[in-house]
Structures are given as structure tokens and as C-alpha cells.
Amino acid sequence: MSAPRSRAWCFPHPDLDAGDGGPPGLRLSASGGIALARDEAAVRQGVLLLLSTVPGERVMRPDYGCELYRLAFAPNDDTTAGLAIHYVRRALERWEPRIDRLHVEAWRDADDARRLDLFLEYRVRATQRPDRVSLGLHLAGGTL
């Protein structure tokens, strides 16, 4: 068995990724220690944390994060979708060297005028395995 290429504390994001269906937050291992996410799971967790972090939240890394929060009061239109794509691409290029970004897309939700759906497809560089992340942003601006 080879050593994992990426490891991180297993901490599924409470709003974005429930992981194995268990409760969000830190997980414990069978031995009582802190459970670790490995390889693709650690990378996925890193991507979700990056996209949900507002720049300035981390004291020692004030530039870390994604500027999706800026869209909270924007109208749900094509310009906002383009900005969301731009913010996601920029954050991933700067802060996530473990992946190759394959495709980023954003569109208005057909059923909810205030929801902008984001789709990210990437490949983990170390294993060459693809993965996908889907996010829904709730915008107070709605549609015009």
C-alpha cells in the first residue's frame, strides 16, 4: 500500500459536502484520533473549503479564499454567472495546485430565480482522476 499523496483532517463542509452522510464537522477515527481524508477526498475537501472561504477570514492567509461572496446581492443574470466563473477560476489557479481545472460553468436555476448553480470539473494531478463539484449560490438580487 502506497502512502497517501494528500492528507488533511476529515472535515466535511456543513453546507456543501456531507461526505459519507454523517454529521458535518471533525470526524474521529476508530482508534479515537482525528480521522484523515486522503488523496482525492482531501483534494475535494480543499476545493470546497477554498470556494466557501471569504478572503480575509484566515488570519495568517488574508488573501486565501474565493470572492463568490461579492455576488450575494447581484442580479441573477449572465454577467453574474460570468463573474462567478471568473472568481472560481482565479481562486483555483492561485490556491489549489493539486488540480487541473477542466471546466467551470454557471447558470441560473430554472426553478429558483435567486439560485445560481455552479459546476466545476477538475482532475487531480497526482492520480489523474477526474472529479466534479456542484454548488448552488443563493443570490438576494434575483432576476431583473
Helix, strand, coil share of the chain (percent; to 5)? 25, 25, 50
Q: For residue 99, what are the domain limits? A: 7-138
Q: Does the residue 2 lie in any domain?
A: no
Q: Does the residue 11 lie in any domain?
A: yes
- Number of domains within the chain: 1
Q: Does the residue 54 lie in any domain?
A: yes
Band of pLDDT at residue 34, cut at 50, 70 and 90: confident
pLDDT tens digits, residue range 51-90? 999 999 999 999 999 999 999 999 999 999 999 999 999 9
Q: Does the residue 83 lie in any domain?
A: yes
Q: Does the residue 20 lie in any domain?
A: yes
Band of pLDDT at residue 33, cut at 50, 70 and 90: confident
pLDDT tens digits, residue range 9-32? 676 666 666 555 566 667 777 888
Ranges of H-type helices in the chain: 39-52, 78-95
Q: Does the residue 117 lie in any domain?
A: yes
Q: Which amino acid is at 46?
A: G
Q: Does the residue 120 lie in any domain?
A: yes
Q: Do residues 43 and 124 touch, judged by C-beta distance below 8 A?
A: yes
Contact residues for 115 (Cβ-Cβ < 8 A; gap 6+): 76, 108, 109, 136, 137, 138, 139
Q: Identify the CATH number of the domain in which residue 60 sits.
A: 3.10.450.40
| Dihedral over Cα of 69, 63, 85, 98: its sign | negative
